[in-house]
Homo-oligomer: A and B are copies of this chain.
Amino acid sequence: MSDATSSKSKAVTLADVARLAGVSTATASYVLANRADVSISAATRARVVSAADDLRYRRNALAAALRGGAARQIALYSPHRPSGGFANIGFAFAELAGSGGLSTVLRIGGDEEFAPGQFDGVVVLGANGHPLPSRLLDGSVPSVEIGGTATGCQVHEDDFGGARRAVEHLLSLGHRRIGHYAGPQSSLAGQERLRGFLDAVHEAGLRMDATPVIHNDHDLSTALSAAVRPTAILAHCDRAATSVLRMARFAGLTVPGDLAVVAFDVEAMAESMEPSLTAVQVAPELVAGAALALLERQFAREQVPGQTLVPTELVVRASTVQG
C-alpha cells in the first residue's frame, strides 16, 4: 500500500528503466548488457544503471532468449535418476551455474530431442552406455559428458591416479598382499581403477599371486579363506566395500587389523559406518566446475580437450588405520 511495488504490480521491464533514465530501450539494453562494441557516454550509462537499480530491474530471460539465442539455460540430462556421487555433482553444478547467472534445467529420462534454441548447452550425467540424442553427438550443441564416453567432451574423475594412490597408501602401511575387487570392465571407471591398481602393484614389485583381482563375491570368499590371503582390499565402489566387510566378518577377520579396506565413491553415510571407510573420492564441486568451464569455453567457440581429468583425493578413515 505504502509502496508502488505492490504484489499486484507487473514486472519491471526494460522499457520502464529506459523511460526513467530518459533514453530509448536500445540504449538501456546496450548499457545493461555491458557491451563494449557500442559507445555510450559515461553519463548516460550511469543514468541507466541507477534507474535499473532503483526499479529493481530483473531482465526477463525468456524474452532475451527468444530474441537473442542466448537462453542462459543449461540442460542437465541423465537417462535415469542419478545416485550418490552423480547426484551431488549435479546439484553442485546447478549451484555453480546459478551463481554464474545460468539456470540449470533438470531432465531425467525421456529420450526426446532437445529443443534447439532452448538451451545454450547440455551436461550429460552418468549416461554410461545409454544411447544419447543425436544432436548431442554431432556437436551442434555445446555439451559436456560427466562419467560417460559417448561424446566429444568428457569429464572423468582420475580413477587411475586414485587407484594408484590408494595402493600407495596401503603399501605405506606395510601391506604386501593387496587384492582388488574390480568393477565391471564395461565401464571406463572400472577399467581405469583396475589399470591404476595393476600399475601401482607392479611398480612396487609385488608378485602377481599376491595381488588377486576379484570379480564377484564368490571369488572374494575364496580369496579371503585361502591359506595366504590378502591383508588389504581395494574395492571398486562402496557396495563392493560393504561386501568385503561382510565377508571379512563372516570369516572372522577384523578390519583393519586383519584386513584393510579402501573403497571408491562412498556416500555420505560411509563416514558414520562402522568401521568408517577409507575411500578415494572426488569433490563434486571440482567435477561441476570443470564441466561448467568446458561449456563456457565452447560458448566462446574455443577448442576443448576430449577428456578432462578431475583429481581425486584419498580420505583415510577407520577401515585402513585404527582410529
Q: Is the CB of B115 within 8 A of A269?
A: no
The reply to whether B103 and A104 contact each other, CB–CB distance below 8 Å, is: no
A73 to chain B, nearest CB (A): 8
Which residue from B95, B115, B249 sits with its C-beta under 8 Å from A109? B95
Tell me whether A66 and B58 are in contact (CB under 8 A): no
- Is A71 interfacial (CB-CB < 8 Å)? yes
Asked if A108 and B94 sit within 8 Å, CB to CB, the answer is yes
User: Chain B residues with Cβ under 8 A from A107's Cβ?
Assistant: 94, 98, 103-104
Q: Which of A133-149 contact B (CB under 8 A)?
A: 138, 140
Known: A62-B66, A81-B91. 9 other contacts (CB 8 A): A60-B115, A62-B62, A76-B106, A83-B268, A98-B109, A103-B105, A106-B106, A238-B272, A269-B270
Judged by a CB distance under 8 angstroms, whether A152 is at the interface is: no
Chain A interface secondary structure, helix, strand, loop or mixed?
A: mixed
Q: How far does the alpha carbon of A71 sit from the alpha carbon of B61 in the complex, in Å?
A: 11
Decide: A115 and B66 in contact? CB cutoff 8 A: no
List the number of copies, as a whole number.
2
Q: Which of these binds chain B: A168-176, A180-188, A239-247?
A: A239-247
A81 to B242, CA, bound (A): 26
Question: Does A46 interact with chain B (Cβ within 8 Å)?
Answer: no
* Chain B residue nearest to A63 in the complex (CB): B66
* A3 CB–B CB distance under 8 Å: no
Residue in A98, A249, A269 with the greatest tally of chain B CB atoms within 10 Å: A269
**Within 8 Å CB of A7, what residues of B?**
138, 140
Interface contact A113-B58, CB-CB below 8 Å: yes
Closest B residue, CB atoms, query A285: B81
Residue A267 contacts which of B10, B66, B268 (CB distance < 8 angstroms)? Answer: B268
Contacts A108-B95, A267-B268 known; A62 to B274 CB distance under 8 Å?
Answer: no
Measured between beta carbons, the chain B residues less than 8 angstroms from A10 are: 116
Interface check A309, CB cutoff 8 A: no
Which of A60, A106, A249, A273 is most buried by chain B, counting CB atoms within 10 A of its CB? Answer: A106
| Given A61-B115, A115-B60, A118-B60, residue A274 in contact with residue B76 (CB < 8 A) | no
Residues of B within 8 A of A272 (CB): 238-239, 242-243, 246
Chain B min CB distance to A283 (Å): 12
The yes or no answer to A110 lying at the interface (CB within 8 A) is: yes
Interface residues of A in 257-286 (CB under 8 A from B): 266-270, 272-274
A11 in the interface (beta carbon within 8 A): yes
* A2 close to B (CB within 8 Å): no
> Closest approach, in angstroms, between the C-beta of A123 and any C-beta of chain B?
11
Q: Does A190 contact B (CB under 8 A)?
A: no
